[in-house]
Chain A
Amino acid sequence: MIVRILGEGRYDVPEADLPAIEQLDAQLNDALERGDDYEFTTSLSDLIAQVRHTGTLVAPDDLRTSEQVVPHEGSTLAEVRALLAEEA
């Protein structure tokens, strides 16, 4: 599955590695809902590390779109909350 890290690029992540990423995504969401800045920052940096570690960077001339998007590295809880508010 292709996962995009905003500001960085797309990674092709093998299916087998998705559960670990989903778990970190759930932690991130949990921190977001609780408004826990520290936990949010930690989960985000763990999530980004995990995607980089298990995925393979997709070349720029490969134009496949992503299915999942990770916020910019170093994003704050407030920034991501503002981004997600655009949903509505």
Chain B
Amino acid sequence: MSVMKRLSGIVQAKANKALDKAENPADMLDLSYEKQMENLTKVRRALADVATARKRLELQASQLQAQAQKLQDQAKQALGQGQEDLAREALARRATLADQLESLGTQHQQVEAQQQQLETTASRLQAQVDSFRTKKETLKASYTASKAQASIGEAVSGISESMTDAGMTLDRAQDKIAQMQARAGAIDELLDTGALPDALGGGGDDIQKQLDATSKAGQVDAELAALKAEVGSGAAEPSASLPPGGPAGSNGGPAGSSSGNGAPASDGGDS
């Protein structure tokens, strides 16, 4: 069985259904024209929706991209700090983002295809509306002649078929847009709830916190070491000069019950 023939049957049936409403050929022509205009408006509206969906996907992709890059940098930083587990965690999250990005890429291709089909449909409908506007008046002027009636029938069938095509293309585009919006909404929600860490570097980034804590701890260690070195070298000088007068004298003061012992003992030690 042929797919093309079956599909043709479906398109013709839909087109005929649309034609049933008009009673006489002149009305049919006017009705066809009105429907074409309506269709054109609908297609244009869908085009605007597709453009919006596309921008949203692009924005999300760039957010995810930035986040993936950030996780990559964090993994490097974690490795630099010797925190392999943290680096592994960052890379694991990056892999999740990569999956999301890939599916966004596929979606983006689909939006582009929809946009292209709708643009084609819009320009085709516009051309048809333009030529049909004059054609229908010519046909109406002579529709009493039986030959003209036949050509009205053909013209209307032709218009009706192309409107059916436009309607089917529109339905398909709207389904796709709805799917994309649902998906974009889900990703927004993920980004919002922090299930995916905030791409804009917001608060809920636990990997960054650990990295910062470690690098702060590292900084504290380094500062402590520097201080120790400073204190150590500074202490070495006074320790050489202090004991003779200071500690010995002060120790001797309260401790020594016999005040006379202090001075001779220190003198004896020195000599």
Contact = CB atoms under 8 A, between A and B. Distances in A.
A87 B9 contact: yes
Contact of A7 (B4, B158, B165): B165
A64 interface: yes
Chain B residues touching A, range: 35 or more
A6 B165 contact: yes
A25 interface: yes
B255 interface: no
Contacts of A74: 110, 113
B135 A4 contact: no
A42 to B, nearest CB: 14
Contacts of B113: 73-74
Given A68-B5, A68-B8, A61 B128 contact: yes
Contact of B161 (A61, A65, A72, A75): A65
Contacts of B11: 4, 6, 66, 69
Nearest to A26: B2
Interface string B152-165: 00110111011001
Contact of B2 (A4, A29, A64, A83): A29
A67 B8 CA distance: 6
A65 B3 contact: no
Contacts of B6: 84, 87
Interface in A38-88: 59-75, 79-80, 83-84, 86-87
Nearest to B6: A84
Contacts of A60: 124-125, 127-128, 131, 162
Contacts of A21: 4
B172 interface: yes
B200 interface: no
Contacts of A9: 120, 124
A72 B3 CA distance: 12
Given A69-B11, A74-B113, A63 B158 contact: yes
A61 B132 CA distance: 7
B117 interface: yes
Nearest to B129: A60
A63 B159 contact: yes
A74 B118 CA distance: 13
A4 B158 CA distance: 12
A63 B155 contact: yes
Contacts of B169: 6-7, 72
A68 B113 CA distance: 23
A69 B2 contact: no
Contacts of B1: 29
B120 A69 contact: no
B79 interface: no
Interface string B122-146: 0011011001100100000000000
Contact of B3 (A4, A7, A25, A86): A25
Interface of B: 1-12, 15, 110, 113, 117-118, 120-121, 124-125, 127-128, 131-132, 135, 154-155, 157-159, 161-162, 165, 168-169, 172
Nearest 7 A/B pairs, CB to CB:
A63-B158, A61-B131, A60-B127, A68-B4, A7-B117, A7-B169, A69-B7
5 contacts: A6-B168, A7-B168, A28-B3, A80-B3, A87-B6
